[in-house]
Amino acid sequence: MVGYLIQRLLGVALTLLVAAALIFFLLDVLPGDPARFMLGINASDEALNALRQQLGLDQPAFVRFGQWLMGLFTGDLGMSASQRAPIAELILERMQLSLPLAFGALVLSTLIGLPLGILAAQNQGKIGDAGLMGLAQIGIAIPNFWFAMLLVVVFAVTLKWLPPGGFVPWAENPAAAFRALILPTIALALPQAAILARVMRTSLVDVARQDFIRTARAKGLSKNQALWRHGVRNALLPVMTIMGLQFAFLIAGTIIVENVFYLPGLGRLIFTAISARDLFVVRSALLVLVGLVVIIMFLVDLLYALVDPRLKKRAGN
């Protein structure tokens, strides 16, 4: 198991290094000079050169790549040109919002999606199954920004239960921060729940046809007992992969919902940084996203090995 972990962690490190190189060199070949962009088109050559030197832009690319990598370890990612603040601080601040939002949406979508999927599979071919899957279809089809606006209209504007948008940092007022995240979490979670419900249903229906479910029935278990005791855990295996992908999407892909609710999240940070050509922010924020996704996929793989004894063998137990 230790050998397996070392091998996998080395893989993770290598993936991150390749991703960092890709991000760095792709952004580096993009046209546009950060120094000129910061100083404006009327800046003098001396001022430009001075700033380039200050930013280290006069160094060869691989040296700057090395400096950036070092910075990732020391937490010194430089200053954002557009926001005049340390990049590391900016990213950390946004993560306070994006991580709880993504995690909350994942938990909520799991709590809604999996039971509905199981219920539909239990009633396979009956009216309940058709109804639930119809709902799930609608849940997948409705764009989440529209759904987000609907939530705002109902729960914030009409009922006035929750704030319509904006975010108060946790340190200032934890209760308000939590309340601010409720509607965005729901808006993000429901479409994901619909996807999960469909995947869970399909997977469980497949598992229900397996021979070991028939064996379980032959032991004297009822149909539902057999499904719960032997079916669900087996059916969860493919669902776990989808959940890992969803979490990755939730961390990076929340930008539309962030816009509807005026939330300063990681997605918006990257979006505004791109608009402002603040490439230093873009590359570091992108790498943080890639890092999160790679780590999540790694955790999903570990979870797989934990749930499925057939993989544990390969993992060297």
Binding positions for other proteins, 287-316, rule CB under 8 A = 307-310, 313-314, 316
3-11, 31-39, 101-109, 194-202 -> range binding other proteins (CB under 8 A) = 3-11
Question: x/- string (CB under 8 A) for other proteins, residues 191-220?
Answer: -------------------xxx-xxxxxxx
Residue 169: strand, helix, or coil: coil
Compute the distance between CA of residue 290 and CA of residue 284 in angstroms, rounded to an integer.
10
Least Å distance, CB 6 to other proteins, is 8
Residue 89: strand, helix, or coil: helix
Residue 247: strand, helix, or coil: helix
Q: Tokens 């989808």 correspond to what residue?
A: 242
Output b/e per residue, 86-114; b: 16+ Cβ within 10 A: ebbebbeebbbbbeebbebbbebbbebbb
For other proteins, the binding residue among 3, 31, 32, 60 (CB under 8 A) is 3
What is the residue type of 66? G
Nearest to 268 by CA among 147, 179, 176, 167: 167
For other proteins, the binding residue among 107, 153, 229, 299 (CB under 8 A) is 229
* 79 DSSP β-pair partners: 86
What is the residue type of 174? P
Least Å distance, CB 287 to other proteins, is 25
Least Å distance, CB 5 to other proteins, is 11
Question: x/- string (CB under 8 A) for other proteins, residues 233-272?
Answer: xx--------------------------------------
Which residues does 225 contact at the CB level (< 8 Å), separation at least 6? Answer: 216
Between 258 and 301, CB nearer to other proteins: 301
222 near other proteins, rule: CB under 8 A: yes
For other proteins, the binding residue among 1, 7, 17, 262 (CB under 8 A) is 7
In the complex, which residues of this chain contact other proteins (CB under 8 A)?
3-4, 6-7, 210-212, 214-223, 229-230, 233-234, 307-310, 313-314, 316
